[in-house]
């Protein structure tokens, strides 16, 4: 039917086609490949009007699957997630502009699950806590910029049930 309407027919074995979308000023905005059903398949990259990479995502037949990365406006990597079938699954990493690790955690079925750590820009641990189904659970410790424990929290179902001040008085 598509051939009768003048549209080309693509076989399912055809290689993906590259699509490009530009800003009104003509600079590249998006570059991505599509499958035979015109769905993103492979890398989708978004650029700033100045030409820097803003984001890149891997797709399989229109669904995020693989690595997704976001970048600061100055071009440095800001965040990296892994997707499986449209949901975050696997490591999540956040970075400061200086390239040092800002935070890390693990997603399962699009929810934080397990240990989460946050760091100061100098690399010193800032917070260590655990998540269960996207909510804080159990022990959480916050540290000062020198690495000394400041506060200890205990969470149940996302709510603080106990707090202890560990700072020297």
Which pLDDT score, from 0 to 100, does residue 12 have? Answer: 56
Tell the residue number behind the tokens 């949901």, with chain if given. Answer: 87
Measured between alpha carbons, how far is 80 from 57 in angstroms, rounded to an integer? 10
Q: Give this prediction's pTM.
A: 0.84
pLDDT band, very low/low/confident/very high, at 148 (cuts 50, 70, 90): very high
Measured between alpha carbons, how far is 132 from 104 in angstroms, rounded to an integer? 15
pLDDT band, very low/low/confident/very high, at 5 (cuts 50, 70, 90): very low
In three-state secondary structure terms, 130 is strand
Nearest CA among 46, 47, 81 for reference residue 64: 81
């Amino acid at each position: 039917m598509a051939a009768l309407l003048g549209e080309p027919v693509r076989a399912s074995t055809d290689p993906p086609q590259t699509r490009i979308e530009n800003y009104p000023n003509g600079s590249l905005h998006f570059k991505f490949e599509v499958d035979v059903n015109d769905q993103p398949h492979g890398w989708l990259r978004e650029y700033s009007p100045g030409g820097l990479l803003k984001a890149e995502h891997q797709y399989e037949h229109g669904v995020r699957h693989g690595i997704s990365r976001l970048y600061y406006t100055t071009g440095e990597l800001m965040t990296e997630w892994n997707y499986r079938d449209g949901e975050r699954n696997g490591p999540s990493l956040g970075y400061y502009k200086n390239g040092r690790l800002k935070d890390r955690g693990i997603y399962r079925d699009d929810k934080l699950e397990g240990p989460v750590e946050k760091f100061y820009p100098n690399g010193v641990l800032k917070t260590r806590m655990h998540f269960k189904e996207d909510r804080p659970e159990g022990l959480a410790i916050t540290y000062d910029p020198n690495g000394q424990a400041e506060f200890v929290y205990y969470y149940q179902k996302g709510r603080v049930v106990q707090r202890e001040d560990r700072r020297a008085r």
